[in-house]
Amino acid sequence: MPTLNRRSVLAGGAALPLIGQTHAEQTEVTFAMIAPLSGPWAREGELQRMGAEMAIDDINAAGGIKSMGGAKVRLVQYDAGDSPEKAKNAAQRMIAQEPGLSGGFGAWLSSFTLAVTEVTERAELPWFTQSYSDLITSRGFRFIFQSSPTAVDQAEKALPTILDLAERTTGKRPRKVAMISDNTASAVSFLKPIRGHVLADLGLTAVVDEIFTPPLSDATTLIQKVRSTRPDFLLALSTNVPDDKMILDKLAEFGLGGGKLPAIGNGGHWAMPELVANAGDQVVQGMMIITAAGAGKGMEALEARYIARTGEPWLLQEPIMAYGHIMLLAEAVDRAKTPDRRKVAEQVRAFDLRDGPALLFPGHHVKYDRAGRRVDAKLMIVQWQNGRIVTTDPPEMAVATAIWPKR
């Protein structure tokens, strides 16, 4: 039976009981985070840090790991930097400096996660990730747990949902799409099935299919091609806020912003508050974002606590998944009654949660298959509406009705 119930996990840290057999001696349990805390993806890493630290404080405020006599948990943080090589080096330092680790999560960008998990797998350290690339869980590893829908799964599920929305709203089904993407692992995985069969299955033609290496220095040529081909919508697969802003600015400059050209992004970075602060309400209006998690119906209390704590305007994918992964690690340690990483991994493999920490993930089910992919993982679609991010899908978490921007 899950040790965190519906009320406690969504309401507040003071009501987060972790029950179990009590050991007389209290010890300390250490979890790790590897995230980009410098470079172009630093904002995403900072949001992950906020979510993880909130989870650590909530667990400790509620009495720690009860099956270990109230053991406190602590978080160690390592900077993945701006390249897979730096991320791998961070993982190697982490393993050398923290031999008592029970588990961890990271490293946000799929390319970084692929490098980091080569190290964590050899160390038999249970590792959670929100990264999207299918390659992460296609290598036969036993200690990696991927909580997001994979990029292929997202590509196959999201576009039909979006096209149905467009047809319901306008009475016309889109036929032409422009695609611009960077060459990171998650974008590559996302586009592979789209090019392979999704476009044909949906009767779509890609009138633009351009790839760039981040960071993007100038989006002029990309957006010129988009404008000249007159697509029905744009699929923008960048992976960091500066590139997102550059794309939005150029769309506005060429008269395509603010919903004149419906645009769909992938990943929580597209929902960052600085986008609306820098670009303006009208430029981001109607932008839809495919994401793996976020605040929705039933999570109001958790979001309110996060906002009060951090000053952020809403709860995004990055902090909520970091929070959720720390809670899942605490759950596994509590069930294992030991911080031993191999026994913790055994408990994660045995998860079949539909309450407690599972409520933090779309679909409200946490169970991992033999490859380490979360079973029944649902994607979310959020949208910029009137200067704010609102959840529009799945229906059980939606707080607003999706709109298809009019051209």
Cα distance from N-terminal residue to C-terminal residue, the chain? 51
Lowest mean pLDDT: which of 130-139, 249-258, 340-349? 249-258
What 8-state DSSP symbol labels residue 292? S
Tell whether 163 and 254 lie within a shared domain.
Answer: yes
Tell whether 25 and 109 lie within a shared domain.
Answer: yes
Residue 400 lies in a domain: no
| pLDDT at 168 (0 to 100) | 87
CA distance 254 to 245: 14
Q: Which residues pair with 390 in a beta bridge?
A: 383
CA distance 90 to 64: 28
Tell whether 195 and 282 lie within a shared domain.
Answer: yes
Q: Helices 151-170 and 185-193: crossing angle, nearest 10°? A: 60
| pLDDT at 241 (0 to 100) | 84
Tell whether 134 and 221 lie within a shared domain.
Answer: no
Residue 391 has pLDDT above 90, yes or no: yes
Residue 84 lies in a domain: yes
| pLDDT at 19 (0 to 100) | 33
Tell whether 26 and 131 lie within a shared domain.
Answer: yes
Tell whether 385 and 246 lie within a shared domain.
Answer: yes
Residue 20 has pLDDT above 70, yes or no: no
Q: How far from the centroid of its chain's Cα atoms is residue 271's Cα? A: 11
Lowest mean pLDDT: which of 269-273, 274-278, 317-321? 274-278
216 in Cβ contact with 182 (< 8 Å)? yes
Tell whether 143 and 255 lie within a shared domain.
Answer: no
Residue 12 has pLDDT above 70, yes or no: no
Beta strands in 65-133 (DSSP E): 72-79, 103-106, 127-129
Average confidence score pLDDT of the chain: 91
Name the most confidently modeled range: 202-206, 297-301, 376-380.
202-206
2 or 171: which carries more pLDDT confidence?
171
Residue found by looking up tokens 């958790």 in the block: 302
Total residues found in the chain within this entry: 407
Residue 29: CB partners within 8 Å, gap ≥ 6?
65, 68, 71, 72, 73, 74, 102, 330, 333, 339
Tell whether 236 and 125 lie within a shared domain.
Answer: no
* CATH assignment at residue 250: 3.40.50.2300
| pLDDT at 10 (0 to 100) | 58
Tell whether 45 and 94 lie within a shared domain.
Answer: yes
Tell whether 50 and 102 lie within a shared domain.
Answer: yes
Which tens digits make up the pLDDT trace of 348-357? 999 999 999 9
CA distance 248 to 257: 7
Residue 403 lies in a domain: no
Q: How many domains does the chain have?
A: 2
Residue 399 lies in a domain: no
144 to 82, 147, 149, 375, 376: CA distances (angstroms): 22, 10, 14, 14, 17
296 in Cβ contact with 380 (< 8 Å)? yes
Residue 163, domain extent: 152-291+381-393
Pairing of strands 205-212, 176-182: parallel
Lowest mean pLDDT: which of 9-18, 33-42, 115-124, 260-269? 9-18
Residue 101 lies in a domain: yes
Residue 278 lies in a domain: yes
Residue 44 lies in a domain: yes
Tell whether 242 and 261 lie within a shared domain.
Answer: yes
Residue 322 lies in a domain: yes
337 in Cβ contact with 27 (< 8 Å)? no
| pLDDT at 406 (0 to 100) | 65
369 or 276: which carries more pLDDT confidence?
369
Split at pLDDT 50, 70, 90, the class of 259 is confident
Split at pLDDT 50, 70, 90, the class of 125 is very high
Tell whether 164 and 248 lie within a shared domain.
Answer: yes
Which tens digits make up the pLDDT trace of 66-121? 999 999 999 999 999 999 999 999 999 999 999 999 999 999 999 999 999 999 99
DSSP secondary structure string for all residues of 152-206: HHHHHHHHHHHHHHHHHHHS----EEEEEEE-SHHHHHHHHHIIIIIHHHHT-EE
